[in-house]
Chain A
Amino acid sequence: MKSLAELQAIRDKARANMGIREDKTDGVRVVVGMATCGIAAGARPVLSTFVEEVAREKLQDVVVGQTGCIGICQYEPVVEVFEPDRPKTTYVKMTAEKAIKVVHQHLMNGQIVEEYTIGTSGK
């Protein structure tokens, strides 16, 4: 250890890996449906894309989690976004590419990607 700056660099790097363990109750929560139907429809790459993209963009207030089946198996993979002062957004038939777009347009800029939501899908 040559200097305090060196220690701080190590801290910042280590801290990024610890974000998962922090209580972020007032942030945004992205939940991927990971029941058997979701996994069969390809939810796993969707989940990992969300995790990677959120980490890459250093979005500190976003928690990526999983949930079970919400009962609309024909629309899987389903992703729900919970925000503190907004109704829940439900994205359906998600893919890794769509996930990247949701991260950038919705999570980073606050604009819901209408064409992927359950309301628009199938119209």
Chain B
Amino acid sequence: MIRSHVLVCGGTGCTSSGSEAVITALESHIDKAGLANEIKVVKTGCFGLCALGPIMIVYPEGTFYSMVKVDDIPEIVEEHLLKGRIVTRLVYEETVQEDKITSLDETGFYKKQLRIALRNCGVIDPEDINEYIAYDGYQALGKALTEMTPESVIEEIKNSGLRGRGGAGFPTGVKWSFAASQPAGQKYVCCNADEGDPGAFMDRSVLEGDPHALIEAMAIAGYAIGSNQGFVYVRAEYPIAVHRLQIAVDQAREMGLLGKDIMGSGFDFDLELRLGAGAFVCGEETALLTSIEGNRGEPRPRPPFPAVKGLFGKPTILNNVETYANIPRIILLGADWFNKIGTERSKGTKVFALGGKINNTGLVEVPMGTTLREIIDEIGGGIPNGKKFKAAQTGGPSGGCIPASKMDVEIDYDNLIAIGSMMGSGGLIVMDEDSCMVDIAKFFLEFTVDESCGKCTPCRIGTKRLHEMLEKVTSGKGTMADLDKMEKLCYYIKENALCGLGQTAPNPVLSTLRYFRDEYEAHVRDKKCPSHVCKDLMNVVILEDKCTGCTACARVCPTNCISGAVKKTHVIDQDKCIKCGACIEKCRFSAIVKQ
């Protein structure tokens, strides 16, 4: 008889911090202690608190252990699982207050979150369909097939106000109705799981933690638009996600939740996986569909939109993973439940991937309308080492930077566009005072230059030229005229590029020019990088009054450019210095600084 469940995160984040070995050790120690019949070990998807992985929760107590190592396992098994004594030193410190252990939902990280798309991540075993069904899985499909017409399903999604979570924010119900209104015949339901924005990993988390939610939603979409075949386009760089999704598809088929005559309704639906080879442009819808067809992933002009002429020339809907993950909940609990969450024009929740200079790196799901300040200071736990917030980058290479002055703006699709950024897929990279905004813009441009497919000139050549101008600025050779020329080129690319990749590529440059023009000007006019990041515009120097002459820096310098006698002030030869910063790290007296 099972009396306890031990949930261990098997998402990519925790897997890279060693959760596989933890699970293996746990199972063998449980076995050794003779508890195999009493304790069940469950490998789940992502809990969201990736910074603290590997993560483990022990039920029925609900004890939340963080950063569990293989060496901790004997103690957890012996003390907690056998004797019921919680191993307090491993408990996530936020859940321990005045010696009392509180619920995880009360912690700063989870308190303000509302998990709809991530509802099952970290809660169920993604490789066991029964656990998904236990939490009302496939009930929404059942409800749609037995109680609703395809029209009423679309109406429900329209009324919910759900908008595409992949970036552009197009109303999902409207998209479905376009495809539904096409003449009957072969139609396709596709899922964009080609999550390519640097720093975004919410789709991976759903695929790894709750793959059946996607399958159920796609079947519902198939019923709504009159399609019996789905394709999930998932990137091959997500091996765990691909593996679990395939298991889920197989289990759903075996149970008859995919296949012929689902639940006796006469509706047939099946699903196949297609692996993407890692081109960023394949996240663009027309390029993605072209790639599924087996051709080189390149975009094509729209119209015709995929809803009219999509995959293999047939009417097709394409939605993002997170969008689909919301669908079963909306069908089951109703549009009116969903549209009460969020803001006037953006309903529901959004998942953000917190990264960069922030304490709680991980995944958070919050109602639309939450402010950046709440996400960063309260949920994210603020910025490490007492540094000051400078900007947050949203929307990856298509988005922009939000400065500190806009931290209290309620985040939704329209507000983000109004302040020069965009929702994008929800990557949120936090930058502190040590980040150079010109360098950030250059980083994203480098990415788009690499990923531009080359089909249209504005993107292929425009982004290249833009990157060269940024190079010029960061190396101190830029002129004020270059800044204006850059801005002009940005607008030119935006207006003329063929697809979303090119049209949004200049956003990082435009938004930093808008909010941090002073930094660009400092690079150009004063030949200085205010954050001391751009190597051509800064020097590493030894402060005379602080240097004790310990020689530690000279010994670590890879180019031997530091000279000085023992117990005498050292000097760096600026001509030979490569500004690697090794000496700064080594100095125990804070005597070496960037200037």
Using a CB–CB cutoff of 8 Å, the interface residues on chain A facing chain B are 1-4, 6-8, 10-11, 13-15, 17-18, 20-21, 23-25, 31-36, 39, 47-48, 51-52, 55, 63-68
Contact = CB atoms under 8 A, between A and B. Distances in A.
Contact of B136 (A11, A32, A39, A67): A11
Contacts of B7: 21
Contacts of B145: 4
Given A7-B139, A11-B134, A21-B5, 19 more contacts: A2-B256, A11-B139, A13-B130, A14-B133, A15-B135, A17-B2, A17-B130, A20-B59, A21-B123, A32-B84, A33-B84, A34-B82, A35-B83, A47-B3, A51-B1, A63-B60, A65-B60, A67-B84, A68-B84
Contacts of B294: none
Given A7-B133, A10-B130, A18-B134, A66 B84 contact: yes
Contacts of B4: 20
Interface in B544-567: none
Nearest to A68: B85
B24 to A, nearest CB: 22
B503 to A, nearest CB: 44
Given A2-B256, A10-B133, A20 B264 contact: no
B3 A48 contact: yes
Interface in B1-47: 1-5, 7, 38
A66 B62 contact: no
B1 A55 contact: yes
11 contacts: A4-B145, A4-B146, A7-B133, A8-B139, A17-B2, A18-B131, A21-B5, A36-B83, A51-B3, A64-B60, A67-B85
A48 B263 contact: no
Interface in B90-146: 103, 105, 123, 130-131, 133-139, 142, 145-146
B132 to A, nearest CB: 9
Contact of A1 (B83, B135, B136, B262): B262
B139 to A, nearest CB: 7
Q: Which 7 A/B pairs are nearest by Cβ-Cβ distance?
A: A66-B84, A14-B134, A1-B256, A51-B3, A14-B130, A68-B85, A4-B142
Q: Is the interface of A mostly helix, strand, loop or mixed?
A: helix
A63 B3 CA distance: 9
Contacts of B135: 15, 18
A102 to B, nearest CB: 16
Contact of B131 (A14, A23, A47): A14
Contacts of B85: 35, 67-68
A7 B83 contact: no
Nearest to B136: A11
A23 B61 CA distance: 9
B327 interface: no
Contact of A65 (B84, B137, B257, B264): B84
B257 A1 contact: yes
Contacts of A67: 84-85
A33 B82 CA distance: 10
Given A4-B146, A36-B83, A65-B60, A17 B1 contact: no
Contacts of B138: 7
A7 B103 contact: no
A65 B61 contact: yes
B255 to A, nearest CB: 6
A16 B142 CA distance: 21
Interface string B234-262: 00000000000000000000011100001
Contacts of A21: 5, 7, 59-60, 123
A22 to B, nearest CB: 8
Contacts of B61: 65
Contact of B264 (A3, A25, A33, A39): A3
Contact of A3 (B82, B255, B263): B263
A63 to B, nearest CB: 5
A68 B78 CA distance: 11
Nearest to B57: A21
Contacts of A25: 103
Nearest to A52: B1
Nearest to B105: A23
A118 B105 CA distance: 36
Contacts of A15: 134-135
A20 B142 contact: no
A7 B134 CA distance: 10
B352 to A, nearest CB: 25
A34 B133 contact: no
A21 to B, nearest CB: 5
